Structures are given as C-alpha cells and as structure tokens.
Structure 1
Amino acid sequence: MARNLYGPRVRMGNWTEDVYLEEELMKDFLEKRDKGQLLIQRNRRLKENLLRPMQLSISEDGYIHCGDKVMLVNPAPAEKEAHLFLDGDLSLCMTPDEIKAHLSDELEVPCGLSAAQTKIPVGRNTFIILSPDRNATGHVLRYGQNFCLATTGGFEDKMLYLSSDHRTLLKSSKRSLLQELYLTDEVSFLNCWQAAFLDPQLRLEHEGAPVPANAKILLSHCRTNRGLAAHRHLSWSTYFGKEAEVAVHTHLDSHRVEKPMNHWMLVTGNPRKDSSTMLELPTSPAGDPGALEQAAHPAAR
C-alpha cells in the first residue's frame, strides 16, 4: 500500500480528501465536547459523583434507625501487625471497575467494593440502612433483625444494594478467593444482613436489643451466615489507587471468637460539624462510658 508522503498543505495527491477528513474529525470532536460525551468529561462526572460530600444521619438516642445514612468502618486493631497493608480506621467504599469507569459516566453493575483510609463521608462510602419491606423508616434497628445496606454512590436516581452469594469457581473475591462482596440493583434475599453483638458469650442475651451507633458489632450475611471482613493484608489496584480487599468470611481465632477484621462500626454524623463523623470526637476515658455522649451533646450536661 502506497504511503502518502505529502501533507494537506502540499496540494498533491488526495489532498482534498485529507482536508475533509481533518475537518470531519474536528467537527466530531467539537460536537462531542458540546454534548459532554468526551471520555475525560464523562470520567470527571463519575468522579465528582463518587466523591461528592455527603451528610450522615445524627443519632439523638445513640442507636441506629432504618433510613439512617452511615459509614461502615472497620476500626483499627488494638495490636499492630507488620504485614498489614493499611493501618487505622478503614471505611467500606464503592469501587467501580477501573476500565469501565474510564469509558462511562454511570455505574456499571455489579460493582465491587474495597476498604480505604477515609473518614470523610462521600458518595462512595455512605450507606443507607433499609428494612426489607421498606416500611420501617425511623424504627430502631435491632440485633438479629434483617436489614439491607444500600448506596447511591452520589447519584440521585441509582440505588445499589450490598450483596453476596456462595463462592463458586467462577465467582470469588479477587485476592483471597473467598466469598465475593458486590453491589447490585436487584432486590433479593442476597441483600439481607444481620447485626450481632461482639462478645459471643453475651450474644444471645442481646438478641433483639437496639443496635448502638458508633460501637463495634458484627455484620453477618443472612444467606450464607458469614461475616463481612476487611483484609488489611491484601491490596489490589482500584479506580482510586491501591486499597484493601473486602470479602464475606468469618475469621475465628483459637478461642472461636471473631477476629478484628470482622469488627465493624455503623458511624453516624457529628452534630457539632457538617460533613463530619463521630470518629472525630475524642475517645471516652476509661471508666466514663457517658463521656462520648456528653461531648456530642454538650447541652445534656
């Protein structure tokens, strides 16, 4: 195939065709730019939605209610380990597919999740507590009660539900190959979760009791009876960089007690400051369990 060694300005060969081709490419580019269909524009809109600041619900009575907006936080373990990839408090975050996210400004389902070191409530890490029948808004969430965790990811018309199912040869978590955790827009029993008391010796006594806000609990998947876990020692590349893997698996120690990777907190908003969480308040001193509530509500002193 002969190669055209001349440019459009030389006016030799198929110069008219080359000029028209450049004009059509420029026209197509300008048309897509005006409609906001360029890849960089679509990618920017997706990031703006996922990182949009969110306002968490404020718990006035210290408990979690259906309809509350919370963050799911895996608290930092008491004993630091050398092989951990991420330290500190990790929040559960929506993680879209890296390739699909660069080609679209909408969320593709199913969507993955990860754990990241962020304490600021944004679209990708803010979840809504929902009852399975959607008719219990405002009711207190209780231990052993089925509920759903949903997120909009900063979008207004898209609701995705935290889901999981049994592991198969074709469907498992990326690094640990355990039960996969994902977000889907399909409403089913795979969306149902339960909260359990942290101490196994007192778990039955707390069955039916209200779930406290900003306290360590266990989150168990109803279909598979396995716990939500953050794998701090496993990292994988996401759309927002390297973050820790999350999966659905119950990790037990030698005493048959759940390990810190299965510990979670439903974090609510700080009444003193907008776009803030209760994690920013000072920890309560030993022997004074009401100090945290007094710090959050100074008028009650």
Structure 2
Amino acid sequence: MGERTYNSSVLLHNWFEEIALDQDVLKDFINRKERGELLMQKLGSFKDDLLNKTELAKNADGHIHFGDQVLLINPGSDQNHPSDPLRAPMALTMNIDQSRFMTSKQVDSPCDVCGSANITPCVRNTFIITSVDGSCKGDPLRYGQNFTLRTLEGVTGQLFLTSDMQLFLKFAKKSRMQLVNLIDQLSFLSCWQVLYLDPQMRLEYDGYPVPANIKVLINHARTNQALAVFQKHSFWTMFGREHEITTHTFFDPHRAEEDLNHWIIVTGDPGVPHGTLFQRPPPICEDPEPKKEPSQEYPDCINQK
C-alpha cells in the first residue's frame, strides 16, 4: 500500500505531457536565440545602437551654428560647498524607458532626460542645434536667439527637448520642479536661449555669436528658467546611476546663477576621431627661462667714484 505505480519514466498521461511541453519550450528558446529574438539580445542590440559614437561639429571659427551636432555638458563644481558636494561633469542625455522598448524599435515620445557621467559623444547624448525663426543651416547661433535641441535621426526619433511650468500632475519625479523631457512635436515649449554667463555683461553680449566650449546658461524661453542638473537626486537606469535634469534657476547670494545652471556647448576636436574639445588635455607649457640674478657688483659709475 502507498507504493507509486507511475513515475516520469513511464511516459504516460500527465508525465508524458509535461515532458513534451518542456521539450517544446526548450526548442522554441533555442530557435529564438538563433534568430536573435530574445529580449536580452534585443535590449543589448538597442543599447549598442544608443552607444554608437558620433562625430560632433568642428567649426574653424569657434562658434556654434545651426545644424551643428553638439554635447551639452555641465562642468560640475571645482570646490566643495556645504550644500553641494564636489560634482563631476555630466552630459545631457536621453533616459530610455525599458518597459516601452518592446512596442517600438526606436525611442518613443515622450522620453525622459537625465545627467550622465558618460561625456563621450554617442547617439544617446548628441543633439542638433535647430532653428525656429527661419535661420539657415550654417548661420551662427546668437545670444538671446530662440533655438531647439533635437535628437538625431534613426533610433532616437528626432525628438525635441521640451519643458513647461510645474503642474499638479506634471513635474520632475525627484525634485518636484519643472519637468524636462523629449517630445516629437515642435512648439514654443521647445524653444531655448543661450545667455551670457556674467549677469552684469549679459545685455552687452545680446545678439553676438555664441562661442563654443565656454560656460553659458541654457534658458527656457517659455518659463524664463535655466536648465539645471541635480547631483543629489539620482536614480538607476539601464546605463547605471544617473541624475535628474530640471528647469530651475539657482541663485547664489550675489544673484548670479550657481554652477548647477552652468553648461558648455561642446564641439568636436579636429585632431581626434570622436573626440571633444572638452576632453582635450591642456597644453603642456615649457618651463620659462630662469630669471637672471641681479648683479651684486656696483655699477661702473659708483666704482669710478
């Protein structure tokens, strides 16, 4: 009594059905793996597409032009502050939602943005300076002039960097400030302006061409708030830990914008493939000639006396 009369080796009834189903699942897995249709394979290929290196604009005149491919890098902080620890440079970057990856083979709208420590030019962090006032491609971008930041063609879907006023159901997840994201529709909410860094000289530089690779402010035309990156508000993405981007102007006691709002529009290094002028090492200065020690002898006029 109690002895088992059937087991998995009998291959009858439910035991045979379970073994057949397991074999079908294994065969289907092997076939999908050979065709590259597994979710892990698709996600890995998608990540590789986003991390493909890009070439930035290399302008001889040193200015930013419409149609240029650029990076937006926050240079970080040079010294420690009680409320803001030492920060490394971070680039404005697309933040892809993995849950929406299966429905499309390219980035869908809306798409979040974040600050990434990866400042190497790639598809994910490269933007195109686009005109909204009829300026031709190749014309210099000027201080105070409206423009848009657009992602590249292809997998990134040509989305526009957009922000809007803080609403009850529309705000940044961590800081609860203005939301910044990427959408596929061009509107006034996608217009930005480059402002001179020094507030006392800002009006004097209005209308002048914007130089590349210097600190500037990226101001939102609709809300008159500056683009900012948060070090203390971070989260995990498919590319690691990254930081929140918002639109809010932070002032120091002298009513000047803090380094959270400082950005550098980075262009390419002509001498390095896929390189940037931001990453170019500083030139090595040769030691100057040693100063000659003053002669301890008296002048001839004194000796003659």
TM-score (ref. length: structure 2): 0.83
Question: Kindly tell me: are residues 156 and 110 of structure 1, through their superposed partners in 2, closer, same or farther at Cα, counting changes over 3 Å?
Answer: closer
Indicate the residue corresponding to 2:240 in structure 1. Answer: 241
Indicate the residue corresponding to 1:258 in structure 2. Answer: 257
Alpha carbons 2:172, 2:178 under 8 Å: kept:
yes
Letter in 1 for 2:208: A
Structure 2: distance between partners of 1:6 and 1:185: 62
Structure 1: distance between partners of 2:44 and 2:103: 11
Structure 1: distance between partners of 2:35 and 2:140: 46
Q: Secondary structure at the match of 1:265?
A: strand
Question: Kindly tell me: are residues 112 and 7 of structure 1, through their superposed partners in 2, closer, same or farther at Cα, counting changes over 3 Å?
Answer: farther
In the TM superposition, residue 56 of structure 1 has moved relative to its aligned partner by 0.8
Q: Secondary structure at the match of 1:70?
A: strand
* Segment drifting more, 101-110 vs 232-241: 101-110
1:127-276 → structure 2 map (5 Å cutoff): 127-132=127-132, 136-152=136-152, 155=154, 158-276=157-275
CA RMSD of aligned residues (A): 2.6
Give CA deviations for 1:62-90 in whole Å, capped at 9, x if unaligned.
10000101110111223223665762211
Letter in 1 for 2:159: L
Alignment of 1:113 onto 2:113: yes
Letter in 2 for 1:187: L
Structure 1: distance between partners of 2:20 and 2:191: 58
TM-score (ref. length: structure 1): 0.84
Letter in 2 for 1:120: T
Q: Secondary structure at the match of 2:124?
A: helix
In the TM superposition, residue 245 of structure 1 has moved relative to its aligned partner by 1.3
Letter in 2 for 1:113: V
Structure 1: distance between partners of 2:12 and 2:212: 76
Question: Kindly tell me: are residues 29 and 258 of structure 1, through their superposed partners in 2, closer, same or farther at Cα, counting changes over 3 Å?
Answer: same
Structure 2: distance between partners of 1:83 and 1:144: 31
Structure 1: distance between partners of 2:86 and 2:26: 46
The percent of aligned pairs where both chains have the same amino acid is: 40
Note the residue ranges of structure 1 that are not aligned, 5 or more in a row: 286-301
Larger Rg: 2
Note the residue ranges of structure 2 that are not aligned, 5 or more in a row: 285-305
Indicate the residue corresponding to 1:70 in structure 2. Answer: 70
Indicate the residue corresponding to 1:41 in structure 2. Answer: 41
Indicate the residue corresponding to 1:13 in structure 2. Answer: 13
Alpha carbons 1:43, 1:102 under 8 Å: kept:
no
Structure 1: distance between partners of 2:19 and 2:133: 62
Structure 1: distance between partners of 2:271 and 2:174: 40
In the TM superposition, residue 34 of structure 1 has moved relative to its aligned partner by 4.6
Letter in 1 for 2:176: L
Letter in 1 for 2:114: S
